Amino acid sequence: MIKAVPKPLEEVLEQVKDFTKVLIVGCDGCVTVCEAGGMKEAKVLASALRLYFTQAGKQAQIDETSLTRQCEKEYLAQISDKMDIYDAVVSLACGCGVQYMAEMYNNKIIYPGVDTCFMGVNEERGLYAERCQACGRCILAETGGICPIARCSKRMLNGPCGGSDKGKCEINKDIPCGWELIYERLKTLGQLDRFENPVNPKDWSTSRDGGPRTIVREDLRI
């Protein structure tokens, strides 16, 4: 899923401090799972904002709600009747949701309340790790199910580099060397012969480098 972290509170305060009616909108999707922007976090942020405005002697109305997800118009539409009264909205959805909300309510100031980080997995509660870079053409079959684009700091396809040090990446001892992991996996699968065949340059045009992407599923559209 998409992993995000709450923005520093002082950044959010700076964005909304001059408004009088602010709505915090959480998302029950990915940001709830990584505890960055769900209903719970929306409540906490709203309370923090209320405390801030009150001690500053400012009158303000801070409300909170959460939507099933913000990347879907039918859910965003559910708050259309409420939106009018607010000067500003803080969306705790990932970057996709914030943008979609801003598209639908294009005359409203919508601020992001989280920093969207990556697509990843839950290793433990509160410990999330990146796994996928959305390159658009999955090569996991060739690398024993471990992605070198997401897990090698240099996104090498013919790794490991000379800085692979006791199973760790040269840039940070907390990062396992992606290619060491691939090596171990290919060994387990009996596929080490893959190691000696050069992998050709990748076609990056299916990734971000090719420009903003759209998927059109003709089989699903009438």
- Kindly identify the residues of this chain, within the stretch 7-36, that bind another protein according to CB under 8 A: 9-10, 13
Q: How far is the CB of 156 from another protein (least distance, A)?
A: 4
H or E stretch covering 168 = strand 168-169
Q: What sign has the CA pseudo-torsion 101, 103, 107, 111?
A: positive
The correct pick among 21, 108, 131, 155 for binding another protein (CB under 8 A) is 155
Give me the amino acid identity at 107.
N
Q: Which of 28, 154, 191, 206 lies at the binding interface for another protein (CB under 8 A)?
A: 154
Q: How far apart are alpha carbons 109 and 80 in whole angstroms?
A: 14
The Cα 89–Cα 112 span in angstroms is: 9
For residue 88, the one-letter residue type is A
Shortest distance in whole angstroms from residue 221 CB to another protein: 34
Tell which positions 34-73 bind another protein, by CB under 8 A. 40, 43-44, 47-52, 54-57
In this structure, are residues 115 and 4 in contact, taking their beta carbons and an 8 Å threshold? yes
Per the CB < 8 A criterion, the answer to whether 21 and 86 are in contact is yes
Binding mask 74-113 for another protein (x = CB under 8 A): ----------------------------------------
Stretch that binds another protein, among 23-31, 101-109, 128-136, 151-159 (CB under 8 A): 151-159
Q: Which is nearer to another protein, 83 or 157 (CB)?
A: 157
Residue 110 makes CB contacts below 8 A (sequence gap 6+) with 88, 89, 90, 91, 98, 101, 102
Cα–Cα distance list, 217 to 71, 137, 214 (Å): 18, 16, 10
The token duo for 200 is 């050709």
Q: How many residues bind another protein (CB under 8 A)?
A: 47
Report the nearest approach of another protein to the CB of residue 172 (Å).
8
122 touching another protein, by CB under 8 A = no
211: left (phi over 0), alpha (psi -120 to 50) or beta: left
Comparing CB distances to another protein, the nearer of 48 and 88 is: 48
Q: How many separate helices (H) and strands (E) can be counted in the chain?
A: 8, 9
Per CB under 8 A, contacts with another protein among 157-196 are 157-167, 170-172, 177, 180, 183-184, 192, 195-196
- Minimal distance in Å, beta carbon 109 to another protein? 21
Q: Which residues bind another protein (CB under 8 A)?
A: 9-10, 13, 40, 43-44, 47-52, 54-57, 153-167, 170-172, 177, 180, 183-184, 192, 195-201, 204
